[in-house]
Structure 1
Amino acid sequence: MLSSPVNSSSYPLLLADIGGTNARFAIETAHTELQAVKVLPCAAYPSLEAALHSYLQDSASMAAGAGRVRHAGIAIANPVHGDQVRMTNHHWEFSISATRSQFGFERLNVVNDFTALALSLPHLQAHQYFQVGGKQPLAGSAIGLLGAGTGLGVSGLIPAGGKWLPLHSEGGHASFTPANTKEVAILEFAWREFPHVSAERLLSGPGLVLIYRALAELHQTAVPPLEAPDILQRGLHQQCAICVEVLACFCEMLGTMAANLAITLGARAGIYIGGGIVPRLGDYLLQSGFRARFEEKGRFRNYLAAIPVYVITEAYPALIGLSALHRQQPSE
Structure 2
Amino acid sequence: MPSAHDDETTLKFPILIGDIGGTNARFAILVDSYAEPKEFPIVRTADFATIDDAIQASILDRTSVQPRTAVLAVAGPVDGDEIALTNCDWVVRPKVMFETLGLSDIIVLNDFEAQALAVVALGDEHMEKIGPGEPEASGSRVVLGPGTGLGVAGLIHACHRWIPVPGEGGHMDIGPRTPRDHQIFPHIEPIEGRISGEQILCGRGLVNVYNAIAKVESQTPRFTAPAEITGAALERSDRLAEESLEFFVTCLGRTAGDLALVFKSRGGVYLTGGIAQKIVPALKAGNFRAAFEDKAPHRELLRSMPVYVITHPLAALAGLAAYARTPSRFGVETHGRRWTKA
Partner of 2:37: 34
- In the alignment, what sits opposite 2:180? 182
Among candidates 75, 87, 112, match of residue 77 of structure 1? 75
Once the two structures are TM-superposed, the CA of residue 329 in structure 1 deviates from its matched residue by 4.0
Shift of 1:199: 0.5
Tell me how large the CA RMSD over aligned residues is.
2.1
How far is 1:139 from its partner?
3.4
The unaligned stretches of length 5 or more in structure 1 are none
SS at 2:100 equivalent? helix
Displacement, 1:256?
Answer: 0.2
Give the aligned residue type for 1:48.
I
SS at match of 1:263: helix
Q: Which runs of 4+ in 1 moved over 6 A?
A: none
Greater helix proportion: 1
* Residue matched to 1:284: 282
Structure 1 CA distance, aligned partners of 2:42 and 2:302? 37
Asked whether the 8 Å contact 1:22–1:41 carries over to 2, the reply is yes
Q: What's 1:318 paired with?
A: 316
Of the three residues 192, 195, 201, the one matched with 2:193 is: 195
**Aligned mate of 2:210, from 197, 209, 212:** 212
Moved more, 102-111 or 198-207: 102-111
Q: Secondary structure at the match of 2:219?
A: coil
CA contact (8 A) 2:190 2:199 kept: no
- Show the counterpart of 2:54: 51
Equivalent-residue separation in structure 1 for 2:138 and 2:28 (angstroms): 33
Alpha-carbon distance, 1:107 to partner:
1.5
Match of 1:18 in 2: 20
TM-score by length of 1: 0.91
Deviation of 1:194 after TM superposition, in Å, equals: 4.8
Q: CA deviation at 1:121?
A: 1.2
Deviation at 1:6, TM superposition (A): 7.9
User: Does structure 2 conserve the Cα–Cα contact (< 8 Å) formed by 1:271 and 1:309?
Assistant: yes
Query: Do 1:178 and 1:253's aligned partners in 2 also have CA atoms closer than 8 Å?
Result: no
TM-superposed deviation, 1:306? 0.5
Change over 3 Å in CA distance of 1:101–1:321 after alignment to 2: farther
Change in CA separation of 1:221 and 1:142 when aligned onto 2, cut-off 3 Å: same
The equivalent of 1:244 in structure 2 is 242
The Cα shift of 1:146 comes to 0.5
1:188, CA displacement in angstroms? 1.6
**TM-score normalised by length of structure 2:** 0.88
1:264-279 maps to which residues of 2 (within 5 A)? 264-279=262-277
Q: Are residues 137 and 38 of structure 1, via their aligned partners in 2, closer, same or farther at CA, if it must alter by over 3 Å?
A: same
CA contact (8 A) 1:248 1:288 kept: no
Q: Once the 2 structures are TM-superposed, how far is the Cα of residue 298 of structure 1 from its aligned partner?
A: 2.2
CA shift, 1:114, in A, is 0.0
Do the aligned residues in 2 keep the contact of 1:20 with 1:90 (CA within 8 Å)?
A: yes
Give the structure 1 partner of residue 261 of structure 2: 263
Q: Alignment partner for residue 87 of structure 1, among 85, 88, 102?
A: 85
Number of corresponding residues: 321
Contact 1:251–1:288, Cα closer than 8 Å, also in 2:
no
Q: 1:314/1:192 Cα in 2 relative to 1: closer, same or farther (>3 Å)?
A: closer
Q: SS in structure 2 opposite 1:91? A: coil
Alpha-carbon shift at residue 72 of structure 1 (Å):
1.4
Check whether the contact 2:171–2:196 (CA below 8 A) recurs between aligned residues.
Answer: yes
Looking at structure 1, the residues matched to 280 and 292 of structure 2 have their Cα atoms a distance apart, in angstroms, of 18
One-letter code of the match for 2:49? Answer: P
Give percent identity, aligned residues only: 33
Deviations 1:134-178 (A, max 9, x none): 221123321111110000000011111111111121000010132
Give the Å deviation of 1:280: 1.1
- Following superposition, the deviation at residue 249 of structure 1 comes to 0.7
